[in-house]
Each structure stands twice: as C-alpha cells, then as structure tokens.
Amino acid sequence: MRLVVQKFGGTSLSSAEKIHRAARRAIRAKLDGYRVVLVVSAMGHATNDLLALSNEICTEPPKRELDMLLTTGEQVSIALTAMAIHAAGHEAISLTAAQLGLYTDSVHLRARIKNINRNRLDQELSSNRIVIIAGFQGIDMSGEITTLGRGASDTTAAALAAVLHAHQCEIYTDVDGVYTTDPRIVPQAKKIDEISYDVMLEMAAAGASVMHSRAIVFGKKFGVPIHVRSSMTDGKGTMIMNETSSMEEVVVEGVTLKEDLAVISLHGVPHQAGLAARIFAELGHHHILVDDIVQNIYDDGKYANISFSINTSDASTAHNLCQQLARDMIIENVTLEQGVSKVSAVGVGMRTHTGTASTMFEALAQAQINIKNISTSEIVISCIVNSTDGVRALRSIHNAFGLDNHDSPSDQINPAR
C-alpha cells in the first residue's frame, strides 16, 4: 500500500478552520487508498510567541528549557489535528517524538536526527489510523527533549518519508510552490514547476525559508520526491526531484536573501598550516554554524586575513571565541561587523554557462550597492552587502537574470515590505 507524508506549516494551521482543512486533506488521501502520516508545526506564530515569553522571563534562557518550552507548540497541533480527524469520523492518533522514538544527538536547539524507530508507526498504520507526528522535535539517547532548528518540521517530514519509503512527501504551506525568489519581497517572482534537490538545497541554505535545508538532504539521499504546494488550493506546486537535462538550460533558477548575518574577520593570522583548522574546530566545538569563509594572503605569504559570516544569534559567542584564539595564536585583531545580509544566485546552468558573476556584479553596481565579500561554488554566487541594501540587491539581481514575470498580477501576494 502506498504511503504519503503530508506536512502542514504553522500558517496552514493557524485557526480551527485551517486545522479542519488539513484534516480533510489527510482523510482524502486515506480515502484515495494511501497510508497517511501527517507532520504538523506549531499553530500560527506559536513558536515565536513562546520565544518572546521566554525572553520576558530571562535574557539567556537555558537551551534545554527552551527546547522543553518550544516543543509544546507542536504538541498542541498534533492533539487538535487528531481531534479534527476524529470529528470527521476517521481514526487518527497523535504522537510526540518521544512516543514515536525519533532520536537525535544532544545539541539543544539544533539537534540532528540519528534514528527513527518504525515500530510504533507501523503498528498504528496497520491499524488503519492516520498518524500525526509533532514536527521539529526529537529526544536524545538519555530521553532529553530536543528541537531540530527553526523551520525544521520539514525535516521531520522528509526524514519520516525516507524511513517509510513514502511515495511522496507533501509540504503544505502558505505559498503555492517554490518561486524564483521570495514572492513576498519580489511580487514578480515566478513559480518553479520542477527544481533539483541540489538547487533547492543551495537556495534553502542561502535563505529561501520555504524549505528547511536538511529536509532536502533527506529527500535527495533517499530519493523521496518532495512536493511543495498550497494548503489552501488543490493546484500543483513545485516538485523537488533529481536533476533533469532541461534544468541545465536555465543559468540562474533562483535568487535568495539571507538576513540577520554578521561577519567576523581575523586580521594578521600567521600563515601557518593548521591555524585555520584550529579556529574552525573551536567554533564547531561550540556548535556555531559558519557560513562563507574568505581568506586573503598578504605580506609575501606571511599573513592571512580570514573572514566568515554567521547568524547574528551566534555573533557574540563566536566573537568572544575568536578573541580568545587571537590571544593564544598571536593574531593581530578580530573585528565583528553586524547588520549584513547575503544575496545569492543559484542554478545548475552555471556549471556550463559563463558570465553569471559579471551579470550579478553589474546589477549591484547599477543599483549603487557595495559588495563586502564574494564567495562562489559550482552552482552558487553570493555577495555580502549591508542589510539596508539587501532587499534592493535581491530585486536588482532577480531582474538582471530575467526572472521577473512582467505579466504576473503582482497583487496575488501582498509584499510584506
């Protein structure tokens, strides 16, 4: 019997009516002959509200207690969704990660899935029930509650789809698919019908918040097609799948903006083997995720400047660590620049087409935007700019790559800013 995993995000569950709608969709899949596993996020802005509440209690809440608090949001959703399915006359059961046996490492707030126990799932599915799993949460080997990072219910869904060999993982959200950029910032963005795992992964990692990046890793590794679609309509959304040859014809498929970044620069690092390893090992040891790293060598190869970007939330911890390292390793000085954003252009066509970088830089030059840092990989070009220029940079680059849809009724989605 074929199995489908359906994931509903917070905005798709923000009221009783929307929870009933999600329940109806799951029931429809069941009546169509599928085994159905639902993964739900916290209702509406519940996770943000819980975070705000914790900040009213103390400025630096212990991460363990934050996980304890934040997971309650998803627990509310699973119970209400199960009730909605019961109310419609069908069988459903809600399960937390602990009840299911979704095991993670012990890194609070950004835990990674280690193992998912199928026993309970198989048992409930064989009893013909729709199984509703709390997204975003896990337990570690000693039973501590963890969370997988903001937006990670997508990852719960894709991981379950992988373990259960699902026919498809459906991500129901408040847009009708993946667009060439965030349609709330650029209303001219175009919907993409099909996108490769690789491009989606890079877009998600570079700020396309419509999907959590680790979900794409699971999808690719286990060959699960992911369908991103609207929870409000029945239209076809975007299929995230293996690359096809036609995808190479488009040079840039998407443009992204990642905000709330900071750049840390270590100036005058003695250019010796092993120093960079030591710096980044120390940051990794403190679970700090480092974004793009840029190194320049100067003074006849004696010294290097090393810069990297990180999320603002990690900035002060990372800055303190680097200052300690600077003392130990005789590094000249360490600077921290807050208030920067990253704009990126992503596309598999970059592998075979030339001129992408110059188009991007030209677009920024015409908009009179200074580039602070540039980094490139096989299918991504990124520029760090001042946060105040971020949205303008995104719009200019999107337009420069011919991605603007001039025919689209731009009032379909209200731009947020």
Residue 197 binds ligand ASP (CB under 6 A)? no
Angle at the Cα of 265 (from 264 to 271), degrees rounded to 5?
Answer: 140
Q: What angle do CA 35, 39, 41 make, to 5 degrees?
A: 160
Binds Mg ion (CB under 5 A): choice among 73, 151, 183, 390: 151
Q: Is 135 in the site for Mg ion (CB under 5 A)?
A: no
Q: What is the DSSP letter of 217?
A: H
By the rule CB under 6 A, 394 interacts with ligand ADP:
no
Sheet order of strands, 290-298 included: 290-298, 303-311, 254-270, 333-346, 380-386, 373-377
Q: Is 110 in the site for ligand ASP (CB under 6 A)?
A: no
Binding-site size for ligand ASP (CB under 6 A) equals: 12
Give which of 355, 337, 332 is closest to 402, Cα–Cα: 355
Q: Are the beta carbons of 238 and 229 closer than 8 angstroms?
A: yes
Q: Judged by CB under 6 A, does residue 184 bind ligand ADP?
A: yes
Q: At what angle do helices 63-87 and 16-31 cross, to 10 degrees?
A: 60
Q: Contacts with ligand ADP in 250-269 (CB under 6 A)?
A: 254
Pick what 373 binds: Mg ion, ligand ADP, ligand ASP, none; C-beta below 5 to 8 Å, kind-dependent: none
CA distances, 388 to each of 153, 257, 341, 394 (Å)? 30, 12, 8, 12
Q: Indicate if the alpha-carbon torsion angle 13, 17, 20, 22 is positive or negative.
A: negative
Contact between 194 and ligand ADP by CB under 6 A: the answer reads no
Q: Which is nearer to ligand ASP, 50 or 357 (CB)?
A: 50
From 28-36, 202-210, 378-386, 388-396, give the range in contact with ligand ADP by CB under 6 A.
202-210
Interacting residue with ligand ADP among 3, 4, 6, 9 (CB under 6 A): 9
Positions in 12-71 near ligand ASP (CB under 6 A):
41-42, 47
207 lines the binding site for Mg ion (CB under 5 A): no
Sign of CA dihedral 61, 65, 69, 71: positive
d(CA 339, CA 356): 26
Alpha-carbon torsion, ordered 11, 177, 214, 373, to 10 deg: -100
User: Out of 137, 173, 341, 373, which residue is the one contacting ligand ADP (CB under 6 A)?
Assistant: 173
Site for ligand ASP in 141-180 (CB under 6 A): 150-153
Number of amino acids touching Mg ion (CB under 5 A): 2
Residues lying near Mg ion in the complex (CB under 5 A) are found at 9, 151
The footprint of ligand ASP (CB under 6 A) covers 9-10, 41-42, 47, 73, 135-136, 150-153
Binding site for ligand ADP (CB under 6 A): 9-12, 41, 151, 173-175, 178-179, 181-184, 208-210, 254
